[in-house]
C-alpha cells in the first residue's frame, strides 16, 4: 500500500512538472489588495533554485498585455526561469494600470502609490514560497514599466542583479543613490515620440513628462558605477554602445533607428500603436544579458 501511494505521489509530481503553470496571487499592502501573476516554467522542479525575472507592463497596460507583447513566458519555458508579472494600480480594477515612478504616471502617481514597497513585498513572498537563485533576480519593463526598472535600480539595487528598461527614461528631478552596482541593458528608439530619445525640447516644455535624453541617463549610470566605454558597433537597425567596470558590471545601450514606442521583436497589441521592429528581439537579448550578469 505504501509503495502504491509513493508511486501515485511521484507520478503526480512528474505530471505537474511537465507543464508550465500560471498562478495569480495577491497580498495586502497599506490597506490595498495588490496583485501579481507568476509563470512557472515547463518542467518546474520544486527542489531546484530558479532565476526570477520581474516583467513590468507599460502605462495603461496590465500583465496579460506585457506577457503577450514580450512572450517572456515562452522564453522562460525554453530557458528555465520564473517570471513574475506585477499589476500596477488604476481606477478600473485590473486594466489601464500605471506605476508611480517619480513624475509619472497617471493613477499611481496621483495617488502616491508606493510601488517600490510593493515590489519588495512581492519579492519577499515569492522567495518564501519558491526556491529562488538570490544572485539571479532581474527586472525588465516597457515605457512606464521601464521607468519602474530604473526606480528599482535606485531603491532596491541590493536585490537585483540587472535591469532592462525598454522605451523608458528618467527625469531631471530624480534623486538616485543605489546601494550596490547593477548591470543595465536599455533599448530606446530615435523615432519614439512618447519618450523622445533626445529628451523634451524647449518647445515641448509644457509636456506632462519631462524625461531626460536617453544618453544622459546612461551616462549617469556609467559615471555612478565607474564604467568605461569599450566599444560601439553599428548595424542597419541599431547602434550598440557597451560599457563595463572593473567588477564586470555591464551597461549596454541599444539605440534603435526605428520601432518608435514599442518592444523590439514584440507583438503589436493596440491598433494605433507603433510597429515593432522584427529583426531584433529584445526578449532574447535581455535574457542573454541577464544570464551573463548575475549579481556580483
Distance CA 235, CA 62 (A): 33
Looking at residue 80, its pLDDT comes to 98
Any idea how long the chain is? Answer: 296
**pTM metric for this prediction:** 0.93
Establish whether the linkage from the previous residue to 105 is cis, with ω within 30° of 0.
yes
DSSP state of 104: B
pLDDT, tens only, 228-264? 999 999 999 999 999 999 999 999 999 999 999 999 9
Distance CA 80, CA 180 (A): 27
pLDDT-flagged residues of the chain (< 50): 1-16, 205-207
Percentages helix, strand, coil for the chain (3-state, rounded to 5) are: 30, 30, 40
Beta pairing partners, 106: none
Distance CA 222, CA 224 (A): 6
Looking at residue 7, its pLDDT comes to 34
Helix, strand or coil, per DSSP, at residue 16: helix
Looking at residue 15, its pLDDT comes to 42
Q: Where do the structural domains in the chain lie, given as residue ranges? A: 18-291
Its CATH class, for the domain covering 18-291, is alpha beta
Helix, strand or coil, per DSSP, at residue 128: helix
Amino acid at each position: 500500500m505504501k509503495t502504491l501511494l509513493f508511486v501515485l505521489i511521484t507520478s503526480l509530481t512528474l505530471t505537474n512538472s511537465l507543464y508550465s503553470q500560471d498562478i495569480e496571487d495577491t497580498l495586502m499592502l497599506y490597506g490595498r489588495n495588490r496583485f501579481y501573476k507568476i509563470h512557472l516554467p515547463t518542467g518546474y522542479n520544486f527542489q531546484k533554485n530558479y532565476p526570477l525575472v520581474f516583467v513590468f507592463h507599460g502605462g495603461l497596460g496590465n500583465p496579460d498585455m506585457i506577457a503577450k507583447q514580450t512572450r517572456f513566458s515562452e522564453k522562460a519555458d525554453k530557458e528555465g526561469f520564473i517570471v513574475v508579472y506585477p499589476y500596477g494600480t488604476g481606477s478600473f480594477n485590473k486594466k489601464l494600470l500605471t506605476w508611480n515612478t517619480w513624475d509619472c504616471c497617471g493613477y499611481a502617481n496621483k495617488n502616491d502609490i508606493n510601488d517600490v514597497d510593493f515590489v519588495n513585498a512581492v519579492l519577499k513572498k515569492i522567495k518564501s514560497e519558491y526556491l529562488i537563485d538570490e544572485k539571479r533576480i532581474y527586472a525588465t519593463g516597457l515605457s512606464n514599466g521601464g521607468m519602474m526598472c530604473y526606480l528599482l535600480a535606485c531603491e532596491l539595487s541590493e536585490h537585483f542583479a540587472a535591469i532592462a528598461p525598454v522605451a523608458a527614461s528618467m527625469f531631471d528631478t530624480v534623486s538616485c543613490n543605489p546601494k550596490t552596482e547593477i548591470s543595465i541593458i536599455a533599448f530606446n528608439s530615435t523615432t519614439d515620440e512618447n519618450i523622445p530619445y533626445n529628451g523634451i525640447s524647449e518647445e515641448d516644455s509644457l509636456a506632462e513628462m519631462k524625461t531626460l535624453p536617453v544618453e544622459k541617463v546612461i551616462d549617469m549610470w556609467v559615471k555612478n558605477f565607474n564604467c568605461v566605454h569599450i566599444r560601439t558597433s553599428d548595424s542597419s537597425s541599431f547602434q550598440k554602445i557597451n560599457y563595463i567596470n572593473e567588477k564586470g558590471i555591464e551597461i549596454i545601450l541599444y539605440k534603435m533607428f526605428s520601432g518608435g514606442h514599442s518592444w523590439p521583436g514584440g507583438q503589436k497589441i493596440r491598433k494605433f500603436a507603433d510597429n515593432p521592429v522584427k529583426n531584433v528581439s529584445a526578449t532574447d537579448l535581455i535574457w542573454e544579458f541577464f544570464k551573463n550578469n548575475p549579481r556580483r
